[in-house]
Structure 1
Amino acid sequence: MDQISYFNKTVASKDMSGYYLLKNGEYAYNKSYSVGYDFGSVKRLDRYDMGALSTLYICFALKKHDSDFIKAYFDSLKWYREIYMISAEGARNHGLLNVPTDEFFDTKHYMPQDSAEQRKIADFMIALEHRIEAQQSLVDNLKKYKRGVVRTLLSPKRCSIKNVKWTTSRIGDIGTFIKGAPLSKADISLEGTPFILYGELYTTYSEVISNVVRKTQASADKQYYSQIGDVIIPTSGETPEEISTASCVMLPDIILAGDLNIYRCTQVDGRIMSYILNHVVNDRIARIAQGKSVVHVQAAEISKIEITYPDPFSQKTIIAILAAISDRIDQSNAELRLLHELRKALLQKLFI
């Protein structure tokens, strides 16, 4: 991706004399380490004819070997053992590994010399990559489709379900807010009571929570435990999108941590309320957020937002429709995970 699309501005220096010019098909070694990439990564320039790179990168072009095969080889991370041998332990500076350029080019790599065999491996991995891309596109399109269906079914003017009775109320008039327990990440434990942290609503859970990944041995008053149908809304986050994320808990007796609003309503099914908050009034919640590096939203402000919701019978119909779409998304995601696992396993087996 170019810097204008990514940063919405030009971030590189106007003076490019201190940069490397990388041409399409050439490679660059990024010495930055991160989770899952302990010794950095090597990538080929594919998307553009050429690009400029900082001298912190090690750039190179191939003299021989099939380029697609070499690309797959560097995706396998089998080359890490060579980098490990030349990267001095603890010699890391500002997130960069201390890998001398001359020693990087002296590393030894083991691969088939038969170009036909290299081509077969490359073609197989390319086909698998295309399959993964197609599956990812399917998942993304299903999620987009679901968002459209949610907005349609929860719109009095667009809903195709017949004889729906609509009611308009302020959120605070049909339910109550309870702040989460005064607990945090420090209270996570291997055993104990199921436990949800506020940051996980945006990163871990979807509109409906049917299982929980954390536990805690900390005790909390009964008011901080979930009831089936409770809607969880964060009170703070890094972006307005995070605090306009809501989830309905379909499990009882889960401790809900601080910086979470527990919204309890008897007139609207929690799943319907979660969909309304996430897809219908999410922009209004985002607009009332305050703060810069960390944004906050008050329950009293959310209470003032008006929503229009269908009658109980229609709510059940809508929930069934959306649950069927969600199941299809879950199945497609499971297939995508299996494809990624297959790719990882093959990359480990195809290279010595």
Structure 2
Amino acid sequence: MLSAIFEKNTKKNSDGAISNVICNSAKQGLIPQREYFDKDIANSDNTAGYYIIEQNDFVYNPRKSADAPYGPISSYKYVDPGIVSPLYLCFRAKSIINPRYYEWYFKSSVWHRYIYMSGDSGARHDRVSIKDDTFFAMPIHLPSENEQRRIASFLDILESRIEKQRTLVDSLKKYKRGVIRTLLTPEYCKFKDAKWTSARIGDLGSFIKGAPLSKADIADEGTPFILYGELYTTYNEVITQIVRKTKANVEQQYFSQIGDVIIPTSGETPEEISTASCVMVPGVILGGDLNIFRCSKVDGRIISYILNHVVSRNIARIAQGKSVVHVQANELAKIEIAYPDFKTQENMVTLFEAINAKIAQRTKELELLLEQRRALLQQVFI
């Protein structure tokens, strides 16, 4: 059982001598609060109730997230002691262990079955309810010390490969942004004989609102369907494949035409709402909270790239609201853009698609590595 290896740590910072507040992030692990702000960490000077943690201690943050559906468990790697929120569960080894082996154990999902997911109506839905007795009573398979070291070493090598692949994907995305911004800025564009025209968006085409549909209209079968929220999570500047369907019936005006540019009408932040996608598939139902821009004077893909990478700050400035921000079509129509002649547009699209294909290839390789890691974790610690 886990209790044979670890014991709960409840030593508190009663005299307030330690001020090094540590947060447990699902993506970054245990890091000082000054490097990562966590809304669950108190912002007062009273940290007497915080738990003191030392090097190689483990900390469980019970807040659920997409990256850690049962909350992250991380080990503390710093030499100097730190303090963590009393909302966290802290535990430390009773004797010398290989901490890296246990870090990998807690990155797997085999321990999730020993966590109590509260169904109480009064419980916070973003948190796991921890029952200490159940948690520390979980059985854990322990190979020899040599095998633990070899397992941890192999998984570390795989993790290093994943991080290199992730860095490569991020670098390609930054390169893409730089290329697009440069080529779509007249004074920096390197295409010879490019002829540029400036105009307000509203003078190039027309806006309509999306169909009055929502998530409730998603179905397993039916007509391809795009929701505004998917522009933040699923689609990029150009859409060639549709992931959703609906059985809803709507008027013909809400079905996509090749080259339609869709822009969300609402979002959580001005920066988030500064996005757009060009739909290159006909007959797709374009859902609610979308501004649909139709234009025959400029390739919709070029409009989308301009909106995402050249005038995104202009869109952010016209966004209105606090908890939810909105962008009106009549305000979008006032934004002035510069666009090249059709031949240059075609050349740009060809280049941008080549970069997108390279990013997609490298991203797929990253996804395969992540799936390999997930499968290995399940096999090693089962």
TM over 0.5: yes
Alpha carbons 1:28, 1:42 under 8 Å: kept: yes
Alpha carbons 2:118, 2:128 under 8 Å: kept: no
Aligned to 2:45: 14
**1:1-352 alignment runs, 5 A limit:** 1-7=31-37, 11-34=42-65, 37=68, 39-46=70-77, 49-62=80-93, 63-81=95-113, 83-84=114-115, 87=116, 90=119, 93-95=123-125, 96-112=127-143, 114-352=144-382
Moved more, 182-191 or 52-61: 52-61
Cα distance change of structure 1 residues 274 and 119 upon mapping to structure 2, 3 Å threshold: same
Alpha carbons 1:27, 1:59 under 8 Å: kept: yes
Alpha-carbon deviations, 1:188-235, whole Å to 9, x = none? 111111111111111110000011111111111111110011111111
Cα distance change of structure 1 residues 329 and 49 upon mapping to structure 2, 3 Å threshold: farther
Alpha-carbon deviations, 1:70-103, whole Å to 9, x = none? 111111122233x25xx48646832444434355
Alpha-carbon deviations, 1:221-257, whole Å to 9, x = none? 1111100111111111111123210000000000101
Alpha carbons 1:111, 1:351 under 8 Å: kept: no
The amino acid across from 1:66 in the alignment is N
Alpha carbons 2:212, 2:288 under 8 Å: kept: yes
Alpha-carbon deviations, 1:41-80, whole Å to 9, x = none? 3211236844321223221222233111111111112223
The amino acid across from 1:344 in the alignment is R
Identity %: 55
Aligned to 2:17: none
TM-score for both structures, normalised by structure 1: 0.93
SS of the aligned residue for 1:262 comes to: strand
Cα distance change of structure 1 residues 13 and 154 upon mapping to structure 2, 3 Å threshold: same
The amino acid across from 2:87 in the alignment is L
Instruction: For structure 1, list consecutive stretches of 5 or more residues without a partner in the other structure.
Output: none
Cα offset, 1:108, TM superposition: 2.6
Alpha carbons 1:3, 1:11 under 8 Å: kept: no
SS of the aligned residue for 2:381 comes to: coil
Cα offset, 1:32, TM superposition: 3.4
In structure 1, C-alpha distance between the alignment counterparts of 2:288 and 2:112, rounded to whole Å: 42
SS of the aligned residue for 1:268 comes to: coil
Alpha-carbon deviations, 1:259-278, whole Å to 9, x = none? 11111111110110000000
Cα distance change of structure 1 residues 54 and 11 upon mapping to structure 2, 3 Å threshold: closer
Cα offset, 1:292, TM superposition: 0.6
TM-score for both structures, normalised by structure 2: 0.86
In structure 2, C-alpha distance between the alignment counterparts of 1:7 and 1:71, rounded to whole Å: 23
Q: Would you say how many aligned residue pairs link Structure 1 and Structure 2?
A: 348
Cα distance change of structure 1 residues 151 and 35 upon mapping to structure 2, 3 Å threshold: closer
Cα offset, 1:38, TM superposition: 5.4
The amino acid across from 1:43 in the alignment is S
Alpha-carbon deviations, 1:269-308, whole Å to 9, x = none? 0110000000101100110111111111111111111111
